Amino acid sequence: MERDGQKIDIRKFLPHRPPMLFVSNMPFVDDTSVITEFKILPHCIFLENGFFTEAGLIENAAQTCSAIVGQSFYDKKDMEGTSNDLIGYISAIKKVQIYELPKVHDILVTKAQLMSRYDLNGVSICTMSSSTFRNADLIVDCTLNCLIQEV
């Protein structure tokens, strides 16, 4: 997966599909960090009274975080997500602070950092921190443990 500033279609690299896909674009990724974008649409399953719920915010963070470690399982030039199949799990939510719930049509920008990683036999266990913004306002701050493995 090349990372030269172009927006990578992350949908080709995540096993998620609508209605469980909570990342629209990935304008940046490197070996330790990632930035994703997500526009909250009216048909989103994690909407309640016009607001994107806590569960949706955590899933957005997890899908964003998985891009950091997940990319290492793919060939560098693979822009179609065809060189491997992965599955990922949230193994622990270490910390989550939700300051405000976003609304329909808001665009979220989520930034994540790899904190630690352990690899063994096609499985990565990692800890990542994530911050989600609406406009310039921090609305979510969390730390997750994830497990990512080849299928």
pLDDT tens column, 94-103:
999 999 999 9
pLDDT attached to residue 43: 95
The CATH number of 10-150, from 3.10.129.10, 2.40.30.170, 3.30.470.10, 3.40.190.10, is 3.10.129.10
| Distances 55 to 29, 45, 76 between C-alpha atoms, Å | 24, 10, 32
Q: Average pLDDT in the 61-78 region?
A: 78
User: What is the domain partition of the chain in residue ranges?
Assistant: 10-150
pTM (two decimals): 0.88
pLDDT at 25 over 80: yes
pLDDT attached to residue 23: 92
Residue 2: band (very low, low, confident or very high) from pLDDT cuts 50, 70, 90:
very low
As a whole number of Å, the CA-based R_g of the chain is 14
Q: Average pLDDT in the 24-44 region?
A: 93
